[in-house]
Amino acid sequence: MILSSQVWHPLFLSAKTVGVSAILFVCIGVPLAYILSNRNLKFRWLLDMIVTLPLIFPPIAIGFLLLLLLGREGWLGHVLASFDIHFIFSFPALVVAGFVSGLPLMVKPLQSAIEQFPKEIKEAAYICGKSALLTLILIILPTIKKSFFAALLIACARALGEVGITLMLGGNIIGKTDTISLAIYNAVFDGEYHLALILSMVLIGISLVFFISLNWLQKHSKALI
């Protein structure tokens, strides 16, 4: 029973984290990809650099920078604390970590797909009175949905396996902020190799589901266009 809780709790916590992160990927990542697809956007390079940063910087360094920003003494954390909003060492910190780590993997492939979308069709939609938002939702996304789902799967897989940023922001509190990846780390550190093996097998199984889903998307790409 104890072993069961040691497996199910981090698994359920990771599932919640990935679920909320997926919503953020759609609500924030898709608009970001659309904005970055505009080559005439002023300071496009700066926004692109911020989005891509988690792919270049080590996760532990990104986590430390976010800790400085969102901590009680940080610029943003101090403002949020005045409204009794706290991110560090809590579930929202896990969501922030998963979202930040997976964001570039959501934005960059989708940005590339939007850039390849025929400009004539977008211009025709504008002429017909469709706004940029409606054009994105009703015309562009349905056309590139294979790329959308593939990017979302990869981003969620990255959020699931995140360790460095999660460790810095979540604090690795047993029973509260220990996701399945951190639970494996804790089990190995405590010498509980049997538990670490079980958790690793679970994580491998989930990863295989992601891989099979991506493979299915590639094989059925024509049906999704």
Give the span between the Cα atoms of 53 and 69, in whole angstroms.
Answer: 16
pLDDT band per the 50, 70, 90 thresholds, residue 225: very low
Give 60-63's long-range contacts (Cβ < 8 A, gap of 24+): 60/164, 60/165, 60/167, 60/168, 62/100, 62/101, 62/164, 62/165, 63/97, 63/164, 63/165, 63/166, 63/167, 63/168, 63/169
Give the span between the Cα atoms of 37 and 47, in whole angstroms.
Answer: 11
* Beta-carbon-side half-sphere exposure of residue 194 (alpha carbons within 13 Å): 3
Mean pLDDT of 55-79: 88
Closest CA to 101 of 21, 45, 174: 21
Mean pLDDT of 195-214: 92
pLDDT band per the 50, 70, 90 thresholds, residue 219: confident
Q: What structural domains does the chain harbor?
A: 2-224 (1.10.3720.10)
Ramachandran region, residue 117 (left: φ > 0; alpha: ψ -120 to 50; beta: rest): beta
152-196 pLDDT, tens digit each: 999 999 999 999 999 999 988 888 899 999 999 999 998 999 999
Give me the chain's average pLDDT, please.
88
Report the share of the chain in percent with pLDDT over 70: 96
Cβ-count burial of 61 within 10 angstroms (0-12 exposed, 13-18 middle, 19+ buried)?
A: middle
The pLDDT of residue 3: 58
Q: Virtual CA dihedral for 198, 55, 24, 165, nearest 10 degrees?
A: 50
Mean pLDDT of 138-153: 90
Give the span between the Cα atoms of 43 and 22, in whole angstroms.
Answer: 27
The pLDDT of residue 165: 94
Give the span between the Cα atoms of 25 and 35, in whole angstroms.
Answer: 14
The sign one gets for the Cα dihedral 94, 173, 179, 14 is negative
The pLDDT of residue 47: 93
6-42 pLDDT, tens digit each: 889 999 999 999 999 999 999 999 999 999 998 888 8
